[in-house]
Every structure is written in C-alpha cells, then in structure tokens.
Amino acid sequence: MKVVVDMNKCQDHGQCVFAAPDVFSMDDAGHLLYVAAPDETLLDEVEEAADVCPLQAIRIEA
C-alpha cells in the first residue's frame, strides 16, 4: 500500500496520528511525518486516517 499526503493541503491537524499512529506522527514542532509505504495489515487504520483528515489530504494507492 502506498500513502500519499498532499502537503499543500495538509495543515498539521494531527487527526491521522490518532487514527493510525504506526503510520503518521508529528515532529517536535507539530508538523506531520508519515510512512509512505506501510504494511498492508495497516489498511484499516490508514483508511480511518484518510476519513478523519479535515483537509482530506490523504490518498491511499493499492
């Protein structure tokens, strides 16, 4: 699975971090970091992260 975050849209709300902490995290300044090619077993979490992104900036590619 490939995760793409549109960093032009992302405003560092961090909702994805709560939904999928194995894939998304925040650095000390509160800016988003993420794993671009997470394990398939994390699909449910990543879908949830995409749902809860206020900017709808997360895209999942098979």
List binders of another protein among 3-22 (CB under 8 A). Answer: 9, 11-15, 17-18
**Residue 11 CB, nearest approach to another protein (Å):** 8
CB 61 within 8 A of CB 1: yes
Query: What residues have CB less than 8 Å from 3, skipping those under 6 apart?
Result: 23, 34, 35, 36, 37, 38, 46, 58, 59, 60, 61
2 binds another protein (CB under 8 A): no
Positions in the binding site for another protein (CB under 8 A): 9, 11-15, 17-18, 26, 29-31, 47, 50-52, 54-56, 59
